A and B are shown apart, each in its own frame.
Chain A
Amino acid sequence: MTVEPLGRATRSRYAAVYDPKLRSIFYQSILLAILAWLAFEFALNAKANLQAQNIATGFGFFDNTAGFGVNQSLIAYQESDSYGRVFLVGLLNTLLVSALGIALATVIGFLVGIGRLSGNWLIARLAGGYVELIRNLPLLFQILFWYLAVLGALPPPRAAMSVFDEIFLSNRGIVVPRPLFAEGAGVVLAVLAAGIAATIALCFWARRRQEKTGRQFPVGRTAAGLILGLPLIALAATGFPIGFESPQLRGFNFVGGITMIPEFVALLIALSTYTAAFIAEIVRAGILAVPRGQSEAAYSLGLKPGRSMRLVVIPQAMRVIIPPLTSQFLNLTKNSSLAVGIGYPDLFAVFAGTTLNQTGQAIEILAITMAVYLFISLVTSLLMNWYNARLQLAER
């Protein structure tokens, strides 16, 4: 009675040493402890060294005056604003070029990808040529090409090219008229918003009705009426409160209107065309992944090529397209930091560049910049994964 439990105990102790599960937990917790200790040691060491060298630390610099100008800002910014404001300005500029770049790249990429599979010899070859040319040249080179060779070659402001004397193209950028909203403009904008909302609701309703009853609804014409017609009526009713401020050449540059600086335009074109070449290949792969029988079946049901592509092939291809497409969106966002090469004031240029240089707080600023890019990327991934999951659910 007394011997047996003792024996079992020794046996179990003996067994614990050789239990693979326990052993692996033991080793991994040691490894984890060492990693934690390493990180702690690095942080401590960095802090001690910074203190020894009398380098400022902490995040107090966010409230200090920046003192430098930025040539593109989505929010009000002046030189006497703080580094915190500079951070926001840079972040918004990064988000702006990334969001527009993603939208443009997706559109161009889908068009080129589908074009490459077109039965039309010329379209297919042109699309193929585009992909092979663009994706095989370095991105920085393309940014510099657009900036220096294309936009830089435009005439100076005094000899600017103009479209109806309203839109001006010069080496200082593209200037377009700025809409001016007088009293009553709010009503027009509200009507426009309501029209868009109604159109979206209509699309859902029409689709559901078609799925249920098979009857189609003329969505296109109704939407045009809702989005264009209603605001026009509102515009007339309120006595045309929306005017335009035309840009005018005064002194060195154009005054008035909205200026798109060449740095922004060059970066946007380069990022979207470059990423579009990769997206085109992803789209082509996605479409080719749908068995040929699917489109043949669609044709035999009497669907025209355009419809069978839109209703049968693309929805199935999307399941293959979405995951690699996500990577391309992430790449575009991260590549936007190449803006530093042409002086576009993105997050990397004004915050991890100028602000870092002036405050000297490399560790804090690089950590924040890293966290921001990581955050943007993770949010993008999250949205795309959610969309992907929704598409996957549709699989039967």
Chain B
Amino acid sequence: MKSVMCRLAFAAIIALTAQAASAQTLKTVKERGTLICGVSQGLPGFSNPDDKGNWTGLDVDLCRAIAAAIFNDAKKVKFTPLSAKDRFTALQSGEIDVLSRNSTWTSSRDSSLGLNFAAVSYYDGQGFMVRKSLKLNSALELTGASVCTQTGTTTELNLADFFRAHKMKYEVIAFATADETVKAYDGGRCDVFTSDVSQLYAEKLKLTNANDHAILPEVISKEPLGPVVRHGDDQWFDIVKWTHYAMINAEELGVSTKTLDEALKSAKPDVKRLVGTEGNYGEQLGLTKDWVVRIIKQVGNYGETFDRNVGPGSRLGIARGLNNLWNNGGIQYAPPIR
């Protein structure tokens, strides 16, 4: 009889808690005191632990910015490394609050997975890396090649599309993690390693002889990468989206870690709205008036994080290109804060 009572109680707890865990991500995060952010298992420039074990990268900085906006402490983030295959399931199940892991925004992921892409933090495209010794000039010369890729990615699908469209034969070897894929390519299992171009630059650093490898000129797909949240919590969706937009707007208005003090004294209306000296735009999001100040002070604007993680200030040295501001030749564009 006692065991029956135990089972009843257990069932009641299960049924009740499962129903309570719906929206309210901001409240949950605040109560927990940390943001749980899903990142990659180590992709230099985007999310990668440095030699001291601190996570660094463009994707990581976005999580830190969200934490800064909520807690005024960019350190209150717990990073959960996820493989490409497991990332969406981890978000669906509520294991993480936000997924910031170089994930491509596609219609099916946005609709049928029960997820929402909040913004595009990096405009990327898929490319091919080969050994220089093969003396290839174009991806169209890849007929019959063995290609290493990571499973559960849009890369895998674009690869199939590309070879199908050009009626070329190929052999695909799909691995579960990025590290296994790179290792197999490095070991000679494949002639080609394919991924988002930014990732090719990053993984190239891990190869035995980085200089023996070249990236082919073709970019075969659109890969808008961005943070992802669960469907059904609009407030949380807005916070993630506007954290990214705040960083873009800050760069556009010239507000950076260095110029923040001047910006706080600025008389320009759009700068005043950004830093919260006018209006209550942060409070409308469920945050505080000085939310952007917190982000800029602790993380920096979009240009600063780009520079330090993937741009000229980093080992990757990727040019801004598409990721430049719209008024600077790129397509990064944020709606205004007002």
Contacts and interface: CB of A to CB of B under 8 A. Distances in A.
A49 B1 CA distance: 32
B88 to A, nearest CB: 6
A152 B188 contact: yes
A354 B11 contact: no
B145 A360 contact: no
Interface string B205-234: 000000000000000000000000011100
Contact of B189 (A79, A171, A340): A171
- Which 7 pairs of residues, A with B, have the shortest CB-CB distance? A55-B114, A357-B152, A360-B113, A53-B114, A56-B112, A69-B172, A79-B160
Majority-rule SS of B interface residues:
mixed
Nearest to B233: A53
Interface in A167-196: 171-172
A205 to B, nearest CB: 49
B238 interface: no
A382 interface: no
Interface stretch (A134-142, A246-254, A290-298, A318-326): A246-254
Interface stretch (B44-52, B58-66, B73-81, B179-187): B179-187
23 contacts: A34-B8, A53-B92, A54-B231, A55-B231, A56-B114, A69-B163, A79-B160, A79-B164, A171-B187, A172-B189, A252-B191, A262-B189, A340-B176, A341-B180, A343-B184, A349-B174, A353-B151, A354-B156, A357-B85, A357-B151, A360-B88, A360-B112, A362-B92
Interface residues of B, number: 53
Contacts of B174: 68-69, 71, 343, 345, 349, 354
Given A354-B85, A354-B156, A362-B89, A152 B144 contact: no
B22 interface: yes
B264 interface: no
Contacts of A56: 112-114
Nearest to A359: B112
B7 interface: yes
B84 to A, nearest CB: 7
Contacts of A152: 184, 187-189
A59 interface: no
A25 to B, nearest CB: 14
A53 B15 contact: no
B175 interface: yes
